[in-house]
Amino acid sequence: MTHYYAFNGDADGLCALQQLRLSDPRDAVLVTGVKRDIKLLQRIDAVADDSITVLDISLDQNREDLQRVLAAGAAVCYFDHHHAGELPRQGHFMSHIDESPEVCTSILVDRYLGGRHRAWAIVAAFGDSLPEVAHAMASVAGVDRRTALLLEQLGTCLNYNAYGETVADLHIDPAELARHMLPFADPLEFIAHSGIYARLAAGYEQDMQQARRLTPAQQMPGARLFMLPDEPWARRAIGVLANELMQAQPDCALGILSPKSCGGYTVSLRVPAGSAVGAAEFCRNFDTGGGRKLSGGINHLPKENVDHFASSFAKCFRT
């Protein structure tokens, strides 16, 4: 009997995992990868009596393999806030899915655990670009401003580390990062005593210095499009750069294209809160696209489709 955790390697997936493992320590197989490596269930060959906890990856993108492991007799508990589609009705399946824009997976785990490890949920909310929600949670928990800033910095660094085409692009493999986090019930202790955090923070600063020098490839009223260079630092910086650019111009849609070694691009998309078209809705017009209302992405945009993407982006979000 084996237990698996299949989790997104970003701040939200890591902090959701951390809360559950602190609450229920047990041996488990960790299945994860870079942020865009979301079809994680295809890497699990579960059998009857195995159990799987899924964290922060779209059910809709894993539907076929979810049905496969359920048919094999495995029990699945699913926590997520991305587009899910129809939920399975067969097998031992339990879901905690909420696609509301003001939640992330770690908040769903926090609800499930009754706030037992809320500080890690606050870290995730900051990392998952929900600063208002994170500050509200911190205020209710009695967290002072200085501490909230430290939790925000940690969330940003954890999230930043997950961006890359492959794990080789990252400063540290998310599975290894999860193992370093596990002994720390208090994220402040992780910040103070983990050399891993210092390593991430230094790498973050170096990468973002270069990223902040980039200029838009296409700019129009209500929308901006960036093309990143084919460099590991740019692939690592893409998520934080997108968040910073949106915070600076929250009423402007943002598209960021990053070259892939196999050809084509990955795409990160952010849209204003009042946009008539959501990010996930727009991205699902392209193969491998998805996300949620305010932020989405396309895992592979062929080079020959870039012009179509750019024109569709301008047509949809120009004001």
Q: Kindly report the CATH number assigned to the domain that includes residue 292.
A: 3.10.310.30
Specify the number of domains making up the chain.
Answer: 2
On whether both 125 and 158 belong to a single domain, the answer is yes
Angle (deg, nearest 10), helices 232-248 and 145-161: 140
Q: How confident is the model at residue 91 (pLDDT cuts 50, 70, 90)?
A: confident
CA distances from 179 to 9, 14, 52, 96, 281 (A): 12, 10, 18, 25, 35
Over 90: is that where the pLDDT of 269 sits? yes
**SS3 for 258?**
strand
What is the H or E stretch that residue 105 is in? helix 105-112
Q: How far apart are CA 235 and CA 62, in angstroms?
A: 24
On whether both 131 and 261 belong to a single domain, the answer is no
Domain boundary pick from 203, 228, 244: 203
On whether both 46 and 96 belong to a single domain, the answer is yes
Domain boundary pick from 178, 203, 228: 203
Calculate mean pLDDT across residues 298-313: 95
Q: How far apart are CA 294 and CA 318, in angstroms?
A: 16
User: pLDDT tens digits for 199-233?
Assistant: 999 999 999 999 999 999 999 999 999 999 999 89
Lookup: tokens for 39: 């079809």
Q: How confident is the model at residue 124 (pLDDT cuts 50, 70, 90)?
A: very high
List the end-to-end C-alpha distance of the chain, in Å, as a whole number: 56
DSSP 87: P
User: HSE (CB half, 13 Å, CA atoms) of 232?
Assistant: 11
Q: Is residue 15 a part of any domain in this protein?
A: yes
Query: CB under 8 Å to 96, separation ≥6 — which residues?
Result: 77, 78, 79, 80, 108, 109, 111, 112
User: pLDDT tens digits for 200-209?
Assistant: 999 999 999 9
Q: How confident is the model at residue 251 (pLDDT cuts 50, 70, 90)?
A: very high
- State the residue range of the domain holding 236: 218-317
Q: Is residue 159 a part of any domain in this protein?
A: yes
Calculate mean pLDDT across residues 88-114: 95
Residue 215, φ and ψ in degrees, nearest 5: -120, 155
